Amino acid sequence: SGKTEVYMQAIGKLLDMGKCAIVLVPEISLTPQTVFRFASRFGKRVTVLHSKLTPGERYDQWRRIKSGDADIVVGARSAIFAPVKNLGLIVIDEEHETSYKQEDSPRYHARDVAIKRAELTNAVVVLGSATPSLESFYKANRKEYRLLTLPQRVDNAKMPIVEVVDMRTELMQKKNRSIFSKSLQTAIEDRLAREEQIILFLNRRGFSTFILCRECGYVAKCRNCDISLTYHSRGEMMVCHHCNFRQPIPSLCPNCKGNYIKYFGVGTQRVEEEVRKLFPEASIDRMDVDTTTSKGAYKRILEAFKEREIDILIGTQMIAKGLDFPNVTLVGVISADTALNLPDFRSGERTFNLLTQVAGRSGRGQVSGEVVIQTYNPQHFSILSAQDQDYRSFYRQEIVNREMLLYPPFTHFARIILRGLSEEATIKASETLGEILRSYQEANYPELEILGPAPAVLARIKKYYRWNILLKSTDPLEIRGLIKMAFAKLPSQITKGEVAYAIDMDPISVL
């Protein structure tokens, strides 16, 4: 879209004025290519800062920044705290990304820190995104932020043509039981024949998402977490994606000793296997957490794709953002419904963002691009808006829902998470805290709403039981006031550590 060029031109003018800049990217994996682009323009004035640097590397970079040897700091979330002197500009690229919110203590959102830091230093903040967060676009519409638009791609490149395929019709009318629709298979064949490149996207790793006994209904679950195990074909193991617990595939059902074990669901490993069967002559690779654990693996795969050594690249959301490969002319979304069905009020926004971002990888060069989105819910407005690549249409419909249900940006949330090894103690502590909160809320903040306590959607992770209490108000000061009152009266089982608690203001997710 040309965002990076806008950033660099703005920074170039700042440097002439003797000012410095911080540029944030949503993923550490995106820093090398961003650093390369900026270093090509600004040379040694660019430095990098993120949490994966060794202590020695981090110290060296920190000292360079503090001494003024570097004028431009590029990094992920934590780079917002870089000791930049004479700060003039903070860029937050892909500002909608949830990775800018730190989920562990100390909890913070890099966007909020950037805005506060800019206030204190009289700097400018640029929030860049083709799919802005609903909160940011709402503020832009209210003139709290200044809205700037890039109406066309670089070099006037055309936006890709997007086709939505109803997978219910594929099964019922076309009797197609493959994970690939006829349209997607034909498109892949066509692009391979033209020696163009293809990205296949599925935001779910592994081979199958769960294993079930068709005789008794047993589902293999993690012994530490309240979640089903994912089958990984490499090593023939069942794996928990939350605690990494691993268990071999049972030959018989552990519950009824039957031999009707069946694999359900689709992950990136399954997609890779099916693609290799359908297109044996194509060069195929996969990029997800499982294939990029070794040092340099991420860079190696991208470099091979850039050099056109790979025809088809299969991946999770790692391939959905920030990548620019001019020879990619087809993007296939295997299932658009993965995030749409999560019990989270942001699920529609996440689905629209992800589909629009991954679709944007297609047709970035001279050849026009094509996108095929497979879904069982083709009439959902998130998918229809993504098909039309129409952010404003999505925003108009989603903002009505948010206002009607009093969700952000019309209210603020605080999520109190209680966790303990004892289920009984966790429930008791949650109920006690709920009673304390309600007693103070009724007397002091009658407009504030308390939801729960209730088990978290993921009710047990890494052996810890988890319960949630949600506080909801149009005034964040009311939430903070209630928490301060209630937590002064915390029961001893919480204060002494039997049950731990955490407070997350304006949570990104309530799962």
**Segment 73-126, tens digit of pLDDT:** 999 999 999 999 999 999 999 999 999 999 888 899 999 999 999 999 999 999
Q: How far apart are CA 50 and CA 80, in angstroms?
A: 10
- What backbone phi and psi angles, to 5 degrees, belong to 93? -80, 140
Q: For residue 142, is it within any domain? A: no
Q: Which of 264, 284, 308 is the last residue in one of the domains?
A: 264
Q: What is the mean pLDDT of the chain?
A: 89
Q: For residue 182, is it within any domain? A: yes
Same-domain check for residues 335 and 300: yes
Start-end of H helices in 68-166: 110-121, 134-141
Q: How far apart are CA 262 and CA 174, in angstroms?
A: 24
Q: For residue 362, is it within any domain? A: yes
Q: Collect all residues with Cβ–Cβ distance below 8 Å to 428 and sequence separation of at least 6.
A: 493
Note the pLDDT tens digit of each residue in 357-384: 888 888 877 788 999 999 999 999 999 9
Same-domain check for residues 186 and 94: no
> What pLDDT is stored for residue 375 in this prediction?
93
Contact 222, 172 (CB under 8 A): no
The domain spanning residue 428 has which CATH number?
Answer: 3.30.70.360
Please give the average per-residue pLDDT across 128-141, as a whole number: 94
Q: Which of 370, 403, 436 is the last residue in one of the domains?
A: 403
Same-domain check for residues 427 and 293: no
Same-domain check for residues 223 and 109: no
Q: How far apart are CA 287 and CA 170, in angstroms?
A: 28
Start-end of H helices in 224-309: 268-278, 297-306
Same-domain check for residues 197 and 313: yes
- Phi-psi category of residue 466: left, alpha or beta, with phi > 0 → left and psi -120 to 50 → alpha: beta
Structure tokens at 181: 């629709």
- What backbone phi and psi angles, to 5 degrees, belong to 4? -60, -40
Q: Would the pLDDT of 57 be above 70?
A: yes
Same-domain check for residues 47 and 75: yes
Q: How far apart are CA 328 and CA 323, in angstroms?
A: 10
The domain spanning residue 175 has which CATH number?
Answer: 3.40.50.300
Q: For residue 140, is it within any domain? A: no
Q: How far apart are CA 374 and CA 260, in angstroms?
A: 29
Q: For residue 150, is it within any domain? A: no
Q: Collect all residues with Cβ–Cβ distance below 8 Å to 480 and sequence separation of at least 6.
A: 414, 505
Residue 37 pLDDT level (bands cut at 50, 70, 90) = confident
> What pLDDT is stored for residue 288 in this prediction?
86
C-alpha angle 78-99-36 in degrees, rounded to nearest 5: 65
Q: How far apart are CA 202 and CA 122, in angstroms?
A: 42
Residue 180 pLDDT level (bands cut at 50, 70, 90) = very high
**Domain boundaries, position 388:** 155-205+271-403
β-partners of residue 419 are 466, 500
Q: Which of 354, 371, 403 is the last residue in one of the domains?
A: 403
Q: How far apart are CA 426 and CA 265, in angstroms?
A: 33
Residue of 285, 280, 274, 305 whose CA lies nearest to 196: 305
Same-domain check for residues 94 and 187: no
C-alpha angle 77-302-312 in degrees, rounded to nearest 5: 125
Residue 401 burial (CB count, 10 A): 12
Q: How far apart are CA 188 and CA 317, in angstroms?
A: 20
Same-domain check for residues 352 and 436: no
Q: For residue 80, is it within any domain? A: yes
Number of domains in the chain: 4
Q: For residue 371, is it within any domain? A: yes
Q: For residue 243, is it within any domain? A: yes
Cα R_g (the chain), whole angstroms: 25
Same-domain check for residues 344 and 245: no
Give the helix, strand, coil percentages of the chain, each rounded to 5. Answer: 35, 25, 40
Q: How far apart are CA 313 and CA 302, in angstroms?
A: 9
Percent of the chain with pLDDT over 90: 56
Note the pLDDT tens digit of each residue in 403-429: 999 999 999 999 999 999 999 999 999
Provide the pairing of β-strand 108-109 with 72-75.
unpaired
**In terms of C-beta density within 10 A (0-12 exposed, 13-18 middle, 19 or more buried), how is residue 76 classed?**
buried
Same-domain check for residues 247 and 366: no
Contact 274, 180 (CB under 8 A): yes
> What pLDDT is stored for residue 494 in this prediction?
65
Same-domain check for residues 197 and 223: no
Same-domain check for residues 321 and 351: yes
